[in-house]
Amino acid sequence: MRGPISAGNIIAANGINSPIAVVLTAVLIVGILVMTLVTLSRMARRK
């Protein structure tokens, strides 16, 4: 497996039902949500 390790590659390697893949996917989704909320709050403060 070359290049950066992405959640998609890990899920494909371990199978969709793998607990590790589920946890990594959840962390990824939460991380994206947090980044979105932070960005929105910063934009709201500037106005």
Tell me the pLDDT tens digit for each residue of 1-47. 455 666 566 656 656 567 777 788 889 899 999 999 999 999 998 87
Domain range enclosing 17: 7-46
The reported pLDDT for the residue numbered 13 is: 65
Q: Is residue 28 part of a domain?
A: yes
Q: Is residue 32 part of a domain?
A: yes
Say if residues 32 and 39 touch (Cβ distance below 8 Å).
no
Q: Is residue 36 part of a domain?
A: yes
Which pair of tokens denotes residue 6?
Answer: 């992405």
**Integer Cα distance of 34 and 20 in angstroms:** 21
Q: Is residue 37 part of a domain?
A: yes
The reported pLDDT for the residue numbered 1 is: 45
Q: Is residue 1 part of a domain?
A: no
Per-position b or e across 13-22, b if 16+ CB within 10 A of its CB: eeeeeeeebe
Instruction: Give the CA distances from residue 22 to residues 6, 7, 40, 47, in Å, rounded to whole numbers and listed in that order.
Output: 13, 10, 27, 38
Q: Is residue 2 part of a domain?
A: no
Q: How many domains does the structure of the chain reveal?
A: 1
